[in-house]
A = this chain, B = another copy of it.
Amino acid sequence: MKTISILGTGNMGKALVKQAAANLEGQVLWGSRNPQEAAELAKGFRQERIVTGTYEDALQADIIIPAFPAAAIMEWAQANRDRLKDKIVVDIANPFNADFSGFTTAWGESSAERLQALLPESIVIGAFKNTFFRVFDNPVFQDRQSDVLVTGDDEDAVQQFIQRFNPLPFRFLHAGPLANNRTIERFTLLELELAVRYGTYPYISLQVFGIPEAVPVI
C-alpha cells in the first residue's frame, strides 16, 4: 500500500490531513516546519492515524502532497529534487497572483506542468485544484459529492492516486494529462469569483454534470 504524506499546516494542509486520517487506510505522515504544532493540531483529528514529523521526514512517503502556496512548492521541489525521485508528488496549487486578479503563469501554462518540468524524475499528479479548503469540512452538499479532477501524464500513477484516495467523500474523476491544468487552474479563479458573487466563499468547488457515477476509469 502506498504511504502518504502531507506537508504544511495551512488551511489546505489541515483540511487534507483531517480527511485522510478520517477515511484512508494506514497512517498519514504530517510534515511541518514545527512538528510540535502539527502534533497539537492533530489532537482535533483522528489522531491515531497521524504521525507528525519534519518536512524532511515527510519525504519518505510514496505519495507526497506539499500543501504550500504555488511559489513555495517550486522552491521546495528544487531543494528536494533528488529525494523526490520516483515519488508521486501531488500538486494542489493554483498560481494566483498577489491580489487574486490573475495568475503568475501565462495563459497556456500551468503550475502542474511547471512542477513536472522541475522534477523530471518524479511523477507529478494534479488534484484538489478546484476544491477550496472549506469544502473539506463538508465535501457532500445536498447529497452530492464535490468532484476532484485528477490529472497526470503517467496513467498508472493517476490510477494509483485515485484508488488510494477514493475512500474520501469526494468523487474522483480522471481528467486527462497534466496539460489540462491550464484550464483546471483557471477555472478555480472563476469559482472564486462566483463564490464571492453568490456569497459562498470559501465554500466552492465543481461538479461535472451528467456522469452517473465515477465508474472505474478506462
Contacts and interface: CB of A to CB of B under 8 A. Distances in A.
B175 A195 contact: no
Contact of A215 (B144, B199, B210): B199
Contacts of A191: 208
A193 B209 contact: no
Contacts of A142: 144, 212
Given A186-B186, A187-B183, A197 B210 contact: no
State how many copies of this chain the complex holds: 2
A182 B218 contact: no
Instruction: Provide the main secondary structure of the chain A interface.
Output: mixed
Nearest to A215: B198
User: Is the interface on chain A under 10, 10 to 19, 20 to 34, or 35 or more residues?
Assistant: 35 or more
A200 B215 CA distance: 11
Contact of A190 (B135, B175, B194, B204): B175
Contacts of A217: 197-198
A16 interface: no
Contacts of A190: 149, 175-176, 180, 183-184
Nearest to A151: B190
Interface of A: 106-108, 135, 141-142, 144, 146-147, 149, 173-176, 180, 182-184, 186-187, 189-191, 193-195, 197-200, 203-212, 214-215, 217-218
